[in-house]
């Protein structure tokens, strides 16, 4: 039998090309050859679909197989959408790439109704794919165009919308339009946030062409628990104000979900090390007024050297004061202390000797790290010497190439996350995190409590 007319042979060829495509991504295939391979794969899959007359469920399985072979996505929280058929659910997702829709169709359970921008709904290359799902053309800039989606939610359908209305070109959330917020507020159904990460750095995104060295991050799809949008009607407010408030509530929900999708159990030192691995250790990341930029590798090595010197005169978990200007040295000292499990206490010199002395006593600071040049320039030498603590100076560090290299390979000892309270989330202020104190003990305690509230909201 001619293999070109054998459906099983065509399916096997498509599967083989998908596997080769995944291997090519890992090996860094040039974009031109990648586009050729991907076009062949799309054509093969299209032939298989038309010859097999795949049902919607079968098409989801084929699409999922291809995406698993190419991206190896990490899937989390799919159980939050299971068993919600017929209940009317609004799925809101961030828009990172042209591959977002296939990713959602392949892995989200149930039949989905997509709100598609009118610009893409008329695209000839997208129409064959949209036949496998229910697509409603919607203009995200027109709040009144949401009536059809509200009716679909009333019929118990699962509606998927991208509140940003366009693919991100920054890697973060874009402007949230008022239409999606109005849909969530007027329909009264539960909202399920879905966060897609990693596709913004891959091909078919708008951000990748601007990156000289795109990071090698794994694609992830995180489904969060359903929630009601906190935007109730207020009697005397106008429709315009209500739409704006609903859009703000939806933006806050997506921002919170994006944060919860991250690994919050990592220390800041571990996060910096992971960022160096993802974005490349040779990428410039830090610079101050001295105009001596540092790469990730230089920052990690110098922070480890500085942290080792500070750890030699302090104990694990001890509070170490920092009296430095906003500079690379302050950043290196912070990450150096965190890498050694110490707590950094940022001292506010603008408050004067009395409040500063009270802050040092409240935080039980025994060692303050500062700079002679900074103290002389700012006229703070007498103030620093009057704190009654041991002073360590930046100028006495004198990092050598051998010392920096040895510190780079010395294992870090960052403090772990704080213990989780019974029945609640992990606390926002783990040991080793920064503290900022000032004034009296009462004012210092208020500052710590205020920082905890801010961290909780973040």
Q: Which of 437, 438, 420, 440 is nearest to 429 (CA)?
A: 420
Cα-to-chain-centroid distance, residue 400:
36
451, burial (CB in 10 Å: exposed 0-12, middle 13-18, buried 19+): middle
Counted residue by residue, the chain has a size of 458
Beta bridge partners of 192: 91
Distance, in Å, from the CA atom of 68 to the CA atom of 48, rounded to the nearest integer, reads 18
Distance, in Å, from the CA atom of 131 to the CA atom of 427, rounded to the nearest integer, reads 47
Residues acting as catalytic residues: 95
Query: Which ranges constitute the DSSP H helices of 72-146?
Result: 100-107, 118-121, 127-130
The answer to whether residues 322 and 310 touch, using CB atoms and an 8 Å cutoff, is no
The answer to whether residues 343 and 337 touch, using CB atoms and an 8 Å cutoff, is yes
Distance, in Å, from the CA atom of 264 to the CA atom of 432, rounded to the nearest integer, reads 15
Distance, in Å, from the CA atom of 247 to the CA atom of 229, rounded to the nearest integer, reads 10
Encoding tokens for residue 375? 């103290």
Instruction: Tell whether the torsion through CA atoms of 384, 389, 394 and 396 is positive or negative.
Output: positive
């Amino acid at each position: 039998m001619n293999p070109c007319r054998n459906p099983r042979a065509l399916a096997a060829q498509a599967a083989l090309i998908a596997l080769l495509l995944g291997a090519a991504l890992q090996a860094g295939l040039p974009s031109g050859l990648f586009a050729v391979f991907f076009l062949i794969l799309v054509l093969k899959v299209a032939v298989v679909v038309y010859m097999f007359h795949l049902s919607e469920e079968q098409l989801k399985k084929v699409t999922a197989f291809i995406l698993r072979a190419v991206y190896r996505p990490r899937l989390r929280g799919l159980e939050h959408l299971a068993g919600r058929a017929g209940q009317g659910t609004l799925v809101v997702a961030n828009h990172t790439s042209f591959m977002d829709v296939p990713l959602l169709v392949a892995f989200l359970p149930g039949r989905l109704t997509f709100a598609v921008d009118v610009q893409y709904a008329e695209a000839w290359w997208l129409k064959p794919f949209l036949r496998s799902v229910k697509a409603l053309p919607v203009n995200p800039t027109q709040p009144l165009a949401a009536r059809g989606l509200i009716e679909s939610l009333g019929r118990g359908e699962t509606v998927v919308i991208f509140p940003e209305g366009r693919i991100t070109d920054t890697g973060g959330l874009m402007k949230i339009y008022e239409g999606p917020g109005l849909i969530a507020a007027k329909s009264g159904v539960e909202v399920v946030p879905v966060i897609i990460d990693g596709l913004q750095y891959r091909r078919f995104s708008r951000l990748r062409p601007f990156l000289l060295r795109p990071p090698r991050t794994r694609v992830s799809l995180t489904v969060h628990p359903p929630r009601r949008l906190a935007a109730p009607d207020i009697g005397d407010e106008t429709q315009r104000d209500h739409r704006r408030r609903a859009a703000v509530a939806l933006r806050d929900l997506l921002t919170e979900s994006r944060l919860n999708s991250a690994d919050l159990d990592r220390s800041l030192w571990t996060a910096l090390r992971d960022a160096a691995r993802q974005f490349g250790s040779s990428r410039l990341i830090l610079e101050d007024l001295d105009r001596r930029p540092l790469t990730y590798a230089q920052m990690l090595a110098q922070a480890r050297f500085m942290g080792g010197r500070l750890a030699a005169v302090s104990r694990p978990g001890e509070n170490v004061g920092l009296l430095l200007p906003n500079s690379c040295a302050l950043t290196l000292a912070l990450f150096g202390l965190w890498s050694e499990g110490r707590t950094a206490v940022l001292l506010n010199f603008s408050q004067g000797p009395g409040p500063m002395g009270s802050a040092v006593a409240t935080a039980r600071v025994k060692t303050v790290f500062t700079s002679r040049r900074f103290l002389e320039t700012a006229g703070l030498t007498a103030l620093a010497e009057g704190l009654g603590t041991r002073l360590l100076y930046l100028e006495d560090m004198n990092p050598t190439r051998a010392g920096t290299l040895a510190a780079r390979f010395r294992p870090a000892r960052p403090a772990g996350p704080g213990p989780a309270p019974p029945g609640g989330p992990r606390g926002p202020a783990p040991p080793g995190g920064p503290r900022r104190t000032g004034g009296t003990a009462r004012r210092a305690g208020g500052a710590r409590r205020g920082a905890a509230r801010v961290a909780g909201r973040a």
